[in-house]
Every structure is written in structure tokens, then in C-alpha cells.
């Protein structure tokens, strides 16, 4: 199949890819560094191209609840925002997870806390993989590290969301959202017709037909036993996701004595740091995480039998390191290195951290 090649910003690439993936609707509210998503969508007139609905909501709260409504009616729907806006969406995300609705949420992370900075950051890791909103739930979290992956992962994200009836979060950052790279785009996929939705998704509230049971989208279970049963069901689903959907990529890990563990733009920096290390004779490698939930615990566990130490590199003061340490389980040395608040570490800084914190430390 011919794949169209374009030079695009990450934010534009994901918007274009979502149209091509056959998305039915997007609801969002502007915030830097991801406003290009809705700007691109509006300029592209997807309602004319494919019939896709694009609406600028009055707030992120409204946007995520519009997503809830459309998702509850079986539509392929997504939203995007950056950190402060994602915080506002958390109530809605919890409801969506509780009601088991499929949708895609993009977070182009910026530095925080509070209004923070519009510069890139990875400090929303805890919020993304540990819940974010209230209650025992999980999102499937995908972390693109290039413009190409912004385009690719949104397609995967819709598939995963519908496979598991679960919200999927694409955890990006200001670097990936704003930078321009070449990107291969898939051909336009047709949107499902209302009839196809009715047939495929028996749970979707599309209007009940005579003789069929009415459908109800809800996350309410007033009786403790019902609520517990629903939670047990959710936990089973999350366990299935953990068993089937772990994704990562390894770079020069085969003979590595030390590995960097990173995702997103930090992984790009670490890839360069691996080269610098190898030039100096240090056998370094990179474990790049693609899914943050499910977390590649088993692979990290396996690597502890091979390497002497791990450096978790993240543009935060140390969030992902907690999961790395749990997976390492004390078998080897594992430390965090990060620049944060909008700063991006250089490959030299990362290599220096490996030498001082792990090799020499």
C-alpha cells in the first residue's frame, strides 16, 4: 500500500493520522503546546473529508464529557490537551474507565506543577500510569518518541481502546508535539457506518430497537458487592492487558553492561548517549518503553540477569524510576537521572550521570 510521505509537526501528524484512522469525533480545548491539533483539524475540514465531527468545547471538562457521550454511543472519539487540561479531564477519564468506554486521549506534557511552563516535560508519568482520577482503574499508556510514532500510535490506540473497551492515553511531550519530522501516513480508512456500529458494539447507546434490552452506560453501582464485582472484572481486564500488550524496543542491549530506561523524547536523548558511551568503550544500551501501562516488568527483570546497572532517564524529578526499581527488585543498581521543569537533558549529561551514578557510584 502506498504510504504518503509528509513533513509535519507531531501535533499535526497525530491529527492527520486520526482522520485517516477513521475517527468519528474530536472534542478539545486549546492549550500550548498542543493547540496545533485542533487548529489542524479545523483547517482540514474533516467534516467534509470524512464526516468527522470536530468541536471546540468550553473547557477540558466539557470536552472529556463530550468524549464520554460519543464513546458511549460507539463512536471512535478522541481528545487532546496538555498537563493542566489533562488534570481537569481526570474526573471524566475515571468515569470513562468505570463505564468501560473506548476513547483516545493525547497529553502533550508540559512542565508543572500548576500553570508551570509551556516547555516539554515528562512529569505526568504518575498521573498517567497510577490512575490520575479517583478509583481503581488503569489506562493503556503509549509513549511515542517521534513524529512518525505520533501518527502510528493513534491508529493502534483506537484499536486497543475498542479491543479492551478502555481509554488509551498517548503520553507525548512538548518536544514530540512541536518538532517537525518526516512521516509516512496510512491511507484513509473508512469510518464505520451507524449500522456497523450497532452490529459490532451491542453495548453502545444508539437507540434501543423494539424487543431488545435497553443499553445503559454508567459507572454507578450502589451496592458494595456489585461495585466489588465490577472492580474484579476491571482488574481481570487489566491483567489481560498486562499479559498481552507490553511493548518496548531495545537498542544495543544484546551485549550491554548498562542500560538506560527511557520513553518519549528522553529515549531519543538516550539513544545518542548510547553512541557516546560506546565511543568511550562503555557497553551501554537503551530499553525504550512504548507502553508505560502495561509496564515491561518482565523485560526489566530479564535484563537484571545481564546488566550491571540501569539508569532511568526521565524529564521529571523521578517518577518512572519507582516502577523500574520495583521490576529490578534490588538485584542491580538502578537510579534516576532527570532534568525537569521544562529543561531537556543533553546526551553528555546523561552519559555523565551513567558514569557517576551507576558505573562509578
Partner 1 sequence: MLAKDIIKPENLVYQKTKLMTDNVLSYCPGCGHGTAHRITMEVLEEMGIGDETIGVAPVGCSVLAYEFMNIDMQQAAHGRAPAVATGIKRCYPEKFVFTYQGDGDLAAIGTAETIHACNRGENITIIFVNNGIYGMTGGQMAPTTLPGMRSSTSPYGRDVNLMGNPLKMTELVAQLPGTSFVSRQAVHTPKHVRKAKKAIRQAFELQKQKKGTTFVEIVSNCNSGWKMTPVQANQWMEENMFPFYPLGDIKVPE
Residues found near partner 1 in the complex (CB under 8 A): 24-25, 27, 53, 55, 57-59, 61-63, 65-73, 75, 77, 91-92, 95, 99, 194, 205-210, 214-220
CB of residue 167 to partner 1, shortest distance in Å = 14
Q: Which is nearer to partner 1, 88 or 143 (CB)?
A: 88
CB of residue 61 to partner 1, shortest distance in Å = 7
Q: Are 132 and 90 in contact (CB under 8 A)?
A: yes
CA pair distance 350, 50, nearest whole angstrom: 45
H/E stretch holding 170 reads: strand 167-173
Smallest CA-to-CA distance from 64 within 121, 125, 133, 127 is with 133
Q: Which three cell numbers stand for residue 173?
A: 511531550
CB of residue 164 to partner 1, shortest distance in Å = 20
**Half-sphere exposure of residue 353: CA atoms within 13 angstroms, side-chain side:** 24
Q: Which is nearer to partner 1, 91 or 355 (CB)?
A: 91
Q: Which is nearer to partner 1, 187 or 213 (CB)?
A: 213
CA pair distance 132, 91, nearest whole angstrom: 9
Q: Which is nearer to partner 1, 191 or 268 (CB)?
A: 191
Give bridge partners of residue 193 from the DSSP assignment: none
Smallest CA-to-CA distance from 256 within 300, 322, 315, 297 is with 300
Q: Which is nearer to partner 1, 207 or 361 (CB)?
A: 207
Q: Which is nearer to partner 1, 194 or 245 (CB)?
A: 194
CB of residue 15 to partner 1, shortest distance in Å = 18
Smallest CA-to-CA distance from 291 within 254, 315, 264 is with 264
CB of residue 230 to partner 1, shortest distance in Å = 14
Alpha carbon distances (Å) from 212 to 89, 166, 236: 34, 25, 28
CB of residue 2 to partner 1, shortest distance in Å = 30
Largest CA distance in the chain: 73
Q: Which is nearer to partner 1, 72 or 294 (CB)?
A: 72
CB of residue 192 to partner 1, shortest distance in Å = 11
Which residues have CB under 8 Å from 277's CB, separation 6+? 258, 283, 284, 351, 354
Owner of C-alpha cell 512529569: 123
Amino acid at each position: 500500500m502506498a504510504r504518503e510521505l509528509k513533513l509535519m509537526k507531531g501535533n499535526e501528524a497525530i491529527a492527520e493520522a486520526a482522520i485517516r484512522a477513521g475517527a468519528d469525533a474530536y472534542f478539545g480545548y486549546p492549550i500550548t503546546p498542543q493547540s496545533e491539533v485542533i487548529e489542524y483539524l479545523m483547517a482540514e475540514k474533516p467534516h467534509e473529508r470524512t464526516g468527522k465531527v470536530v468541536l471546540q468545547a468550553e473547557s477540558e471538562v466539557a470536552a472529556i464529557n463530550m468524549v464520554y457521550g460519543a464513546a458511549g454511543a460507539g463512536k471512535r472519539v478522541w481528545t487532546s490537551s496538555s498537563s493542566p487540561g489533562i488534570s481537569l479531564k481526570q474526573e471524566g477519564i475515571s468515569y470513562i474507565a468505570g463505564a468501560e468506554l473506548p476513547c483516545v486521549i493525547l497529553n502533550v506534557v508540559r512542565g508543572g506543577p500548576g500553570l508551570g511552563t509551556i516547555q516539554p516535560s515528562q512529569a505526568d508519568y504518575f498521573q498517567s500510569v497510577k490512575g490520575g482520577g479517583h478509583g481503581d482503574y488503569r489506562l493503556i499508556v503509549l509513549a511515542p518518541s517521534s513524529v512518525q510514532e505520533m501518527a502510528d500510535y493513534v491508529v493502534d490506540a483506537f484499536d486497543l481502546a475498542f479491543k479492551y473497551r478502555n481509554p488509551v492515553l498517548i503520553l507525548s511531550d512538548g518536544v514530540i508535539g512541536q518538532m517537525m519530522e518526516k512521516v509516512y501516513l496510512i491511507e484513509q480508512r473508512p469510518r464505520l457506518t451507524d449500522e456497523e456500529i450497532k452490529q459490532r458494539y451491542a453495548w453502545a447507546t444508539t437507540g434501543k430497537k423494539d424487543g431488545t434490552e435497553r443499553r445503559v452506560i454508567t459507572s454507578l453501582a450502589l451496592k458494595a458487592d456489585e461495585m466489588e464485582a465490577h472492580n474484579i472484572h476491571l482488574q481481570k481486564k487489566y491483567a489481560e492487558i498486562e499479559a498481552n500488550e507490553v511493548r518496548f524496543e531495545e537498542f544495543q542491549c544484546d551485549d550491554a553492561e548498562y542500560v538506560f530506561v527511557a520513553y518519549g523524547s528522553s529515549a531519543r536523548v538516550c539513544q545518542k548517549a548510547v553512541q557516546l558511551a560506546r565511543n568511550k568503550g562503555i557497553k551501554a544500551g537503551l530499553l525504550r518503553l512504548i507502553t508505560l501501562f502495561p509496564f515491561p516488568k518482565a523485560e526489566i527483570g530479564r535484563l537484571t540477569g545481564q546488566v550491571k546497572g540501569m539508569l532511568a532517564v526521565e524529564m521529571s524529578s523521578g517518577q518512572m524510576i519507582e516502577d523500574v526499581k520495583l521490576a529490578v527488585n534490588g538485584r542491580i543498581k538502578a537510579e534516576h537521572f532527570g532534568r525537569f521543569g521544562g529543561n531537556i537533558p543533553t546526551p553528555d549529561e546523561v552519559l555523565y550521570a551513567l558514569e557517576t551514578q551507576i558505573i562509578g557510584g
